Structure 1
Amino acid sequence: MAWRIVHVKEGDTLRLRLDNVEIIKMDNKLHIPLSDISMVVLEGNRTTITTKLLSSFSQNNVGLVICDDKYLPVGMYLPYGQYHHNAKRVINQSNWSDDQKGDIWQRVIKQKMDNQVAFARFAGVEQERLELMEDLVSNLISGDKTNREGHVAKVYFDSLYGKSFTRDEDCLTNAAMNFGYAIVRSCMARIVVGSGLVTMLGIFHRNEFNSFNLADDLMEPYRPLMDYWINKYVLGDDDYLSYESRQNIISFMHEKIEINGKKMTIDNSMQEFVASFISAMDSNDPDAILKIELKNFIGEES
């Protein structure tokens, strides 16, 4: 099973060599088996890649992420039509009812909200604000028609970073979260596509200009896990997102979490989570979806 995320810096050349990615920098060459790679992250304006390698990425379900001059991911290249029953799965997906999507979204977003409360408690947020978030979670209904998720997020970020903090602010915290969420999104999109689903057809996110609505839906429980990771391993004395910090964020995908008594990497847990999501939708049983819990991540890696 693919497990490696390859982070390529400025000036490298990537090409296919037999069944390996060959990375060339000056006189040095590195070979990595395609079967080991789940995703490649490219940085730098002078990095080049061959179309033959891109074709092999598609055939091996390898995702490719392109970063801008500020080292933030701005684009993705994903496989197309590699799932063996792709048409059947897409037909089923297009027939999901609004009630099905509303009920499963309630389960998915509750996991995110519960994990936000758990991280806020871990970070020492005062009990009054924890209780406020818990009260908001308790009023969650199918489809989150009353936007409990938005209200919890407001209390969550205010409690952690101060009431003046906004997600638009130019600061290390936002840069780290933007980078981290983009990595999680890219991994989730690769798994969604590899499972034969259409990323544009979400269960809650329905933006006509967003090609990754479903990936944005399914990554939600993982956001607070990334927040915890960034808080522990990235935020500190630096006021910019260093190369070491970006490496630390990418390493999040290889950390272990416990799911139903089994220890697995975050990347593998996403595979299991998407599979359980498909099963829950096909069987019309929202409770069949796996639970992604922060406590099972903190307990393993701390």
Structure 2
Amino acid sequence: MPYRHVLISNQSMISVRNQQLVIKQDEEYTIPLSDISTIMLENHRCCVSAACLASLADYGISLFTCNDKHLPNGVLTPFNSHSRQLKALENQLAIAKPTKKRIWQAIIRQKITNQAQCLEQMGKPNANKLKHLAEKVESGDKTNLEGVAAQVYFTSLFGSRFSRRTETPINAGLNYGYALFRATIARTLTIHGLLPSLGIFHHSELNNFNLADDLLEPFRSVVDRWVCSNISANEEKLTPSLKKSLYSLFYERLGINQGVSTVTTAIELCVSSFVNAIDNKEHQSLKLPSLLPRGEDGD
């Protein structure tokens, strides 16, 4: 399974040779394509050959681009990489409404549980309140406990004056981390023959990643915890070193499927289990990540 996440911050010529990614800067670096999960192009003076782009798609590698503020604004994901694309799409389209509601219930219950774990691990208040909310999530989250929990969670984690609507380094860090995880989930969905735009709960016609946004929810607390630990309200901007550290969150450990995995592997397990859930019409098959204390590896 691909495990490496490549961040390119300097001017580079990027190509492929003998199934290796070739990065030419002052020196030349090579990385086996089979080892790579994602590539981030942070520098606008990077040049990528057409042959390289085609190879990245063949190997299922996500390529991120950044805007003038060095924040992710685009992603190349593989297309038609699944041998039974039509069958996978038919199963996705055939998901019954009750199954969708049960899947969304499980996602939101785990999201709120992870938020509670984040507060507890960071020594913040209201962790028990969120644990109680998680237990009360109903099918389809028809009482919107996700929204109730969010109001408690973010002010508990970042302070009573915090708002997700303001342009601050904290929000920039959250958005950066979420975007990385979201695009990686979208890439994994396409590899499994699913359409990222066809969601369980999210359904905007303007959103090409509705399903990725659905499955992203329980992963968000990984980013939240790191931002709380590393970005203060007095930070002037999201620095290159902070972004590099955020990009390394793919190597954080999560509990999933009765084991411990990196975020990259947990995304693969989550998507694979989602495919099993819709193929077998059993929402219980869905495996979702749990937030472990940092440094816990299950050994």
Structure-2-length-normalised TM-score: 0.94
Q: Pick from 266, 269, 279: which aligns with 2:266?
A: 269
Name the structure 2 match of 1:249.
Answer: 246
Q: Deviations over 1:236-261 (max 9, x none)?
A: 87432121111111111023334344
Name the structure 1 match of 2:155.
Answer: 158
Q: Map 1:213-228 onto structure 2 (within 5 A).
A: 213-228=210-225
Name the structure 2 match of 1:40.
Answer: 39
Closer, same or farther: CA 91–261 of 1 in aligned 2, 3 Å: closer
Q: Deviations over 1:155-189 (max 9, x none)?
A: 10111122321112222211111111111111111
Counterparts of 1:149 and 1:259, CA distance in 2: 21
Moved more, 154-163 or 256-265: 256-265
Q: Which amino acid aligns with 1:116?
A: Q
Residue 209 of structure 1, CA deviation? 0.3
Counterparts of 1:240 and 1:112, CA distance in 2: 28
Name the structure 2 match of 1:8.
Answer: 8
Matched, 1:299 2:296: yes
Name the structure 2 match of 1:77.
Answer: 76
Closer, same or farther: CA 135–262 of 1 in aligned 2, 3 Å: closer
Q: For the Cα contact (< 8 Å) 1:20–1:31, is it kept in 2?
A: yes
Residue 166 of structure 2 aligns to a residue whose secondary structure is coil
Q: Deviations over 1:129-167 (max 9, x none)?
A: 334333432331111122110110111011112232111
Q: Deviations over 1:202-241 (max 9, x none)?
A: 0000010000000111111110122112333455874321
Moved more, 196-205 or 250-259: 250-259
Residue 55 of structure 1, CA deviation? 0.5
Closer, same or farther: CA 130–171 of 1 in aligned 2, 3 Å: same
Name the structure 1 match of 2:21.
Answer: 21
Q: Deviations over 1:274-302 (max 9, x none)?
A: 1111112222222222231113666339x
Counterparts of 2:113 and 2:181, CA distance in 1: 19
Q: Map 1:1-302 onto structure 2 (within 5 A).
A: 1-25=1-25, 27-126=26-125, 129-235=126-232, 238-295=235-292, 299-300=296-297
Q: Deviations over 1:89-146 (max 9, x none)?
A: 00110111111111111001111110001111222233xx334333432331111122
Counterparts of 1:112 and 1:298, CA distance in 2: 21
Q: For the Cα contact (< 8 Å) 1:80–1:193, is it kept in 2?
A: yes
Residue 201 of structure 1 aligns to a residue whose secondary structure is coil
Closer, same or farther: CA 47–188 of 1 in aligned 2, 3 Å: same
Alignment gaps of 5+ in structure 1: none
Residue 219 of structure 1 aligns to a residue whose secondary structure is helix
Residue 188 of structure 1 aligns to a residue whose secondary structure is helix
Residue 73 of structure 2 aligns to a residue whose secondary structure is strand
Residue 34 of structure 1, CA deviation? 0.7
Alignment gaps of 5+ in structure 2: none
Counterparts of 1:278 and 1:296, CA distance in 2: 29
Q: For the Cα contact (< 8 Å) 1:259–1:296, is it kept in 2?
A: no
Q: Percent identity?
A: 33
Q: Which amino acid aligns with 1:11?
A: Q
CA RMSD of aligned residues (A): 1.9
Counterparts of 1:205 and 1:146, CA distance in 2: 16
Counterparts of 1:3 and 1:235, CA distance in 2: 30
Aligned residues: 298
